[in-house]
């Protein structure tokens, strides 16, 4: 784990295949400036755009952004309304740019909790960007890892009860195929902003061997220099995947 921006160590090394980001700090950024929370979320959307551009420049193939957790539904109703409205605006405003840049968008999470207008905007964005091959962008919305794992376990139980699955034959690959992230590589690197040092119910199964970088910068202030520093930090590490040390 790291909580400090990296140096130039590892420059020239191949980038991680899959980077996931816990985008934290929008509210604190706004409150520190005496601004409405909504403006913090809008500034956070600008940071997401910068991060996508940085990932493309760095040669990262998969980028996952944790944008809205299942716990976020408990926030004040006006803030949730602002967030969902911003989501719809972002999807409609950015889909052309994503398509032009070769970015394929995919949304994971419980989208049924969103209204029909938001669900339609998500589906349209996914369909319009389906041909992108430069960057696979996944946005986690109304997402919680425990709920994801529980849903997969229920699917396994239902298949076993129906006689279409012998539980004795189930392996990690088979279980992973029942997660929201089916078909995606596990993250190599998880970045969290705002100085908090936890992963907050994000990709719990998939993060088994991910490297973690915690940065003190609030998400709206996150830029290409922070993304590049995290990649350099990653490149300087020796990944062991559970192998014995020494």
Stated as kind and residue range, the H or E segment containing 66 is strand 62-69
Three-state SS annotation for 99-164: HHCCEEEEEECCHHHCCHHHHHHHHHHHHHCCCCCCEEEEEEEEECHHHHHHHHHHHHHHHHHHCC
Tell me if residue 24 is catalytic: yes
28 is in an annotated binding site: yes
Catalytic residue chosen out of the listed positions 72, 186, 201, 221: 72
Residue 28 makes CB contacts below 8 A (sequence gap 6+) with 40, 194, 218
Burial class of residue 246, CB neighbours in 10 A (0-12, 13-18, 19+): exposed
- Whether 72 is catalytic: yes
- In a 3-state reduction of DSSP, which class is residue 10? coil
User: Do the annotations mark residue 62 as ligand-binding?
Assistant: no
Q: Which of 24, 188, 228, 233 is catalytic?
A: 24
Q: Tokens 């740019």 correspond to what residue? A: 97
Is position 75 annotated in a ligand binding site?
Answer: yes
Does the annotation list 3 as a binding residue?
no
126 annotated as belonging to a binding site for a ligand: no
Please indicate if the annotation marks 205 as binding a ligand: no
200 annotated among ligand-binding-site residues: yes
**3-class SS at 189?**
strand
**Does 27 count as an annotated binding residue?**
yes
Q: Is 219 annotated as a binding residue?
A: no
The pair of three-digit structure tokens given for residue 224, joined into one six-digit string? 């290409």
Q: Would the annotation count 192 as a binding residue? A: yes
Q: How far is CA 142 from CA 6, 36, 52, 158, 165, in A?
A: 31, 23, 20, 24, 29
Torsion, CA 22, CA 27, CA 32, CA 35, rounded to 10: 140
136 is in an annotated binding site: no
Token representation of residue 158:
């239902």
Known binding-site residue numbers: 24-29, 41, 69-71, 73, 75, 192, 198-200, 211
Known binding-site residue numbers for substrate: 25-29, 41, 69-71, 73, 75, 192, 198-200
Residues annotated as catalytic (active site), given as ranges: 24, 72
Known binding-site residue numbers for Mg(2+): 24, 211
């Amino acid at each position: 784990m790291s909580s400090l921006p990296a140096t130039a160590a590892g420059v020239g090394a191949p980038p991680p295949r899959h980077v996931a980001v816990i985008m934290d700090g929008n509210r604190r950024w706004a409150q520190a400036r005496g601004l409405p929370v909504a403006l913090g979320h809008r500034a956070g959307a600008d940071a997401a755009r910068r991060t996508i551009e940085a990932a493309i420049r760095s040669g990262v193939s998969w980028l996952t952004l944790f944008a809205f957790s299942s716990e976020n539904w408990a926030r004040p109703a006006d803030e949730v309304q602002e967030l969902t409205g911003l989501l719809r605006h972002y999807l409609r405003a950015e889909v052309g740019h994503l398509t032009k840049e070769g970015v394929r968008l995919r949304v994971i999470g419980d989208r049924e909790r969103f209204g029909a207008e938001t669900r339609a905007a998500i589906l349209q964005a996914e369909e319009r960007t389906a041909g992108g091959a430069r960057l696979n962008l996944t946005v986690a919305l109304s997402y919680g890892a425990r709920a994801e794992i529980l849903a997969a376990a229920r699917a396994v139980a239902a298949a076993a009860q129906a006689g279409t699955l012998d539980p004795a034959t189930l392996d990690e690959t088979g279980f992973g195929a029942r997660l929201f992230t089916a078909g995606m590589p596990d993250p190599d690197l998880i970045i969290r902003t705002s100085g908090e040092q936890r992963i907050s119910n994000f990709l719990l199964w998939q993060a088994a061997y991910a490297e973690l970088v915690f940065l003190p910068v609030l998400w709206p202030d996150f830029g290409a220099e922070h993304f590049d520093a995290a990649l350099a930090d990653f490149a300087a590490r020796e990944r062991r995947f559970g192998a014995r040390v020494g």
